[in-house]
């Protein structure tokens, strides 16, 4: 009996202690709330010295950190040795121009034109639809000779591959014929250029060959916009340009090897993709997407010396950025 009474007394004492703890905790909490002018609260974490006015919602606090920029290692950077009359290097992440040489001068882009041609097609065509196009005599006559025979049928994807990888002029012309007719297609090319703010450029054909009385013209500043647009919006085209070689097959089963005209692909690890160009009037041209210090950059060289100098100029610019900039 005495033992049972002791248990009752112990239970009552525990209840009294618990109630006292609740009231004591409430008093402490009230005191902390009264002191918020000295202690800020951020997501239930007390930060000593933070005024209440600095408390921010979590969406503000977790905003992305700003992208780091390339910084010059010296204020007096040496000029790279280039044959190109016009060139530009741009960091796609920030839009920063790391190098420029006469970027607003107009030059013929030569087969860099085919980047715009492919982009206009892609605005109307769903990749992997595998719609067949028939090589016409008029298209073949535009500097034909890439083993795409008149009357043969190839998928639209393979015609784009031929135009970009081996710079097939007849393929580019066939795309223009097949997607609205040549004149209408060229009008769409110029409309696309306007949409991309390529204000100093104009196009008169889909392949980039020299023409009378006037040939296509563009600036390095405009072509870098086109190159970045393709990188951002058309990974399927970048994938084509990144291939060292591939095989396409006609509807009848004829297999054709396509080798990439970009000599730096697979040779320089920085080179990801590029479109070459070459005519008598344009000289050598190259639009490249490269990776330097784990960042994607675009490089345009126009009117480089004939004899492979577009590749030498691009290599020089890649090394120049590596030697003179750091993130």
Q: Are 318 and 310 contacting, i.e. CB atoms less than 8 angstroms apart? A: no
pLDDT at 142: 84
210 phi/psi in degrees, rounded to 5: -60, 140
pLDDT at 278: 96
Ordered by start, the domain boundaries in the chain are: 71-326
- Tell me which CATH code domain 71-326 carries: 3.40.710.10
Percent of the chain with pLDDT over 70: 79
Tokens of 114: 């085919």
Segment 33-60, tens digit of pLDDT: 443 333 233 333 333 444 444 434 444 4
SS3 state of residue 277: strand
User: Would you place residue 257 in the very low, low, confident or very high pLDDT band (cuts 50, 70, 90)?
Assistant: very high
Segment 205-250, tens digit of pLDDT: 999 999 989 999 999 999 999 999 999 999 999 999 999 999 999 9
* Gap between the Cα atoms of 312 and 304, Å rounded: 9
Nearest to 219 by CA among 285, 280, 145, 122: 285
Segment 147-196, tens digit of pLDDT: 688 999 999 999 999 999 999 999 999 999 999 999 999 999 999 999 99
User: Would you place residue 66 in the very low, low, confident or very high pLDDT band (cuts 50, 70, 90)?
Assistant: confident
In the numeric block, the tokens 């795409």 are attached to: 148
Q: Over 60: is that where the pLDDT of 321 sits? A: yes
Q: Over 60: is that where the pLDDT of 14 sits? A: no
Q: Is the pTM value of this prediction over 0.75? A: yes
b/e per residue, 110-143, with b = 16+ CB within 10 A? Answer: bbbbbbbbbbbbbeebebeeeeebebbeebbebe
pLDDT at 8: 55
Sequence-ordered alpha helix ranges (H) in the chain: 2-34, 58-61, 113-124, 137-140, 156-165, 169-178, 182-195, 220-233, 235-241, 309-324
45 phi/psi in degrees, rounded to 5: -110, 120
- Output DSSP code: residue 143: T
pLDDT at 151: 94
Segment 102-118, tens digit of pLDDT: 999 999 999 999 999 99
pLDDT at 40: 31
Strand-strand pairing, 39-42 and 45-48: antiparallel
Mean pLDDT of 267-284: 97
């Amino acid at each position: 009996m005495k033992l049972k009474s002791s248990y009752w007394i112990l239970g009552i004492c525990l209840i009294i202690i618990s109630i006292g703890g609740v009231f004591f905790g409430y008093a402490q909490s009230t005191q902390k709330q009264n002191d918020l002018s000295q202690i800020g609260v951020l997501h239930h974490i007390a930060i000593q010295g933070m005024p209440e006015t600095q408390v921010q919602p979590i969406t503000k606090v977790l905003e992305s950190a700003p992208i780091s920029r390339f910084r010059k290692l010296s204020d007096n950077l040496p000029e790279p040795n280039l044959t190109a009359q016009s060139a530009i290097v741009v960091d796609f992440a920030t839009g920063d121009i790391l190098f420029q040489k006469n970027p607003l001068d107009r030059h013929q882009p030569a087969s860099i034109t085919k980047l715009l041609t492919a982009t206009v097609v892609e605005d109307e065509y769903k990749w992997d639809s595998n719609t067949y196009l028939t090589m016409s005599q008029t298209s073949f006559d535009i500097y034909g000779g890439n083993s795409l025979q008149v009357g043969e049928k190839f998928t639209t994807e393979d015609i784009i591959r031929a135009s970009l990888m081996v710079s097939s002029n007849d393929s580019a012309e066939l795309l223009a014929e097949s997607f609205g007719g040549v004149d209408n297609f060229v009008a769409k090319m110029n409309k696309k250029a306007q949409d991309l703010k390529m204000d100093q450029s104009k196009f008169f054909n889909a392949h980039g060959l020299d023409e009378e009385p006037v040939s296509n013209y563009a600036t390095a500043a405009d072509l870098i916009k086109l190159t970045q647009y393709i990188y951002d919006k058309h990974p399927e085209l970048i994938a084509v340009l990144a291939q060292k070689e591939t095989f396409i097959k006609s509807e009848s089963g004829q297999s054709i090897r396509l080798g990439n005209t970009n000599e730096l692909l697979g040779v320089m690890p920085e080179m990801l993709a590029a479109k070459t160009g070459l005519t008598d009037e344009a000289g050598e041209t190259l639009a490249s997407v490269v990776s330097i210090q784990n960042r994607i950059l675009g490089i345009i060289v126009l009117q480089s010396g004939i004899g492979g100098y577009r590749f030498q100029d691009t290599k020089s610019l890649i090394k120049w950025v590596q030697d003179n900039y750091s993130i």
